[in-house]
Amino acid sequence: MVKTTWILETKDLIDKQVELFGWVANRRDHGKLVFIDLRDRTGIIQVVFSPQTPGYDTAQKLRNEWVVHMQGTVKARPEKMVNPDLATGTVEFEPTELEVLNEAATPPFPLDGDGHDIGEDSRMQYRYVDLRRPRMAKNLQMRHEILLFMRNWLNEREFIEVETPILTKSTPEGARDYVVPSRLYPGKFYALPQSPQQYKQLLMAGGVEKYFQFAKCFRDEDTRADRQPEFTQLDMEMSFVEREDVIALNEELLIAIVSKLYPEKKIQTVPFPRLSHKEATEKYGTDRPDVRENKDDPNLLAFCWIIDFPFFEKQDDRSWTFTHNPFSAPKPEFMDDLTAKRDVGSIITSQYDVVLNGFEIGGGSIRNHRPEALRAVFEIMGFTPGRIEKNFGHMLRALGSGVPPHGGIAWGMDRLIAVLQGETSIREVMAFPKTGDARDLMMDSPSELEQKQLKELRIKPET
C-alpha cells in the first residue's frame, strides 16, 4: 500500500513513490508540458505532466482549487530549475495516476498572496477559501502548536484541565452579557460567560488547587476594529499562592513558548521589568506601554509587568466601581482599609497585567478568599444587601465554606498569538472570526428567528 504523504515531506523523499492529496493552486501550460502546483496545508509541490504521463488529458482540464489525488514518484529538479523560494523547490512530482475528487467554482479571490490587499469583507464571507492561504494555514498551525505546548507544560506541573459551563448566570462584571432565553423557564435567562472568573474560584473552593482551561469568553461590547464578541483565554488559577508565585510561573511559561516555538525571536529583558500603574501612566501615558528599545525590529519581544493598580475608580455619578474585577484582593497592607471601607481611593489591588509590545496579553490577581472582604467590595460599590445576595450570594457562601488563598491569571490567546505571528489583527489568527462590527458574513448572522422559535421562547420583538 502506498503511504499518503504530506507535500512538505517530499523534499526528503527523492526517487520514492508517494501518494498526494490536495488542491490545484495553479496550472501552467508550457507547450505540450502541463505544470500543476499542488497544495496541501504543509506546502506546494510542482507536478509535471507530459503527453506520455497517465492522466495528461485530465491535467489539461484542471482549474484552480479543484481537489485531486495523485500517485507517482518524487524527482530531484534539474539544478537550473531549483526554486529557492519554495520549501520543496529542490524536487518535483512525476505522477502515474491522477484522480479528480471534486471540481470547484472560480475562487472569489486569488490565494497566492498574503491576502492583505483583498477586502476583508470578501475574505470573511468566503473564509473557508481564505483559510487555504499559506499564511492563514501557518497561523492556525502555530496556534495549535502554542496551545499544545502550553497544555503539556502545565500538565507537567500538575495542573489539571477543567471545563466550566457556557450557560451561566448574568452578574455585573463589566461588559454587557450575551443572554440566552430559557424555554423551560419563561421570562428567565442564562448568560454566556464573560470569563470563567467565578467558576475558577469555585474550583479552588472544591480543592482542585491547580486548574487551567482554554476558555471561550463572550462580551457584548461596542464595536471596535480589533475586538471580538467571542475570544479565547488561557484561564489559570492556583491555591496557596502569592502574587510572586503566579508572576514567576507565567513568566517561565512565556519564555518557554518563545524559546521552543519562536527561536528566531529575542526577548528584550529577562526577567521581565515591572512598572507600577502610576509609573507606566506617568512615563508612557498608558498602562499598556510598548517598552521596545527598537520598534523596527519585528523579532524583538518586550514583555513587562504592570502592578499596583488602584482598586477602585469613580464613575460619572461619583459612585465607586472596580478597575478590573470585584474579586481581586487588595495588597495585604490595604486589607484593613478595604474591610473598614475607608480611604477607598488609595486602596491598591493585587492585580498584575503582562504586556507585550504595547498589547495587554494577560491579567490576573490574588483573590479575596474570605467572604467579608468580598462583601466589602460590593458595599463600597453601593450594592444593597439584596442585590449582593441575588447576584453573588453563591460566591459568599462558597468562600465561607473554607477556601484557601488563591490567585490566577487569564491570557488573551488571540492577542498573544497575533503578536507572535506578526499579525496586526486578532482576526488573522482565528479560524472563523466576526467582523469589527460583530457580524458573521459567512453564516449571515446575527439573523432573525422563525416565528415558531420566538413563540416557544415567549419573545415578542419590537416592531
Q: Which three cell numbers stand for residue 302?
A: 518586550
pLDDT tens profile 225-278: 678 999 999 999 999 999 999 999 999 999 999 999 999 999 999 999 999 999
Domains 7-102 and 128-429 equal at CATH topology level: no
Q: Could you report the per-residue pLDDT of 132-155, keeping only the tens digit for each?
A: 999 999 999 999 999 999 999 999
Helix (H) or strand (E) holding 57: helix 56-59
Contact 308, 278 (CB under 8 A): yes
Mean of the per-residue pLDDT values of the chain:
95
> Which whole number is the average pLDDT over 101-114?
96
Indicate the CATH number for domain 7-102.
Answer: 2.40.50.140
pLDDT, residue 463, reads 64
Contact 205, 221 (CB under 8 A): no
- Label residue 174 by pLDDT band (50, 70, 90): low
Type and span of the H or E element at 46? strand 43-49
Q: What is the pLDDT of residue 462?
A: 78
| φ, ψ (nearest 5 deg) of residue 390 | -65, -45
Per residue in 334-358, is it b (16+ CB within 10 Å) or e — as a string?
A: bbebbbeeeebeebbbbbbbbbbbe
For 220-224, 233-237, 270-274, 363-367, which range has the lowest pLDDT when averaged over its residues? 220-224
pLDDT at 1 over 60: no
The x, y and z cell numbers of residue 401, run together, are 465554606
Domain range list for the chain = 7-102, 128-429
**3-state DSSP assignment of residue 18:** strand
What CATH fold (topology level) applies to the domain 128-429? BirA Bifunctional Protein; domain 2 (3.30.930)
Q: Would you say 365 and 396 are in contact if contact means Cβ atoms under 8 Å apart?
A: no
pLDDT above 70 coverage of the chain, percent = 98
The amino acid sitting at 109 is F
Contact 435, 121 (CB under 8 A): yes
Distance between CA atoms of residues 228 and 218, nearest Å? 8
Residue 3 confidence (pLDDT): 61
The residue-averaged pLDDT of 278-283 equals: 97
Q: What is the pLDDT of residues 58-95, one digit of tens each?
A: 999 999 999 999 999 999 999 999 999 999 999 999 99
d(CA 219, CA 118): 28
| Verdict on whether the full-model pTM lies above 0.85 | yes
pLDDT at 408 over 90: yes
H-run or E-run covering 363: strand 359-366
DSSP annotation of 309 reads -
pLDDT per residue as tens digits for the range 305-348: 999 999 999 988 888 999 888 999 999 999 999 999 999 999 99
The number of angstroms, rounded, from the C-alpha of 9 to the middle of its chain's C-alpha atoms is 29
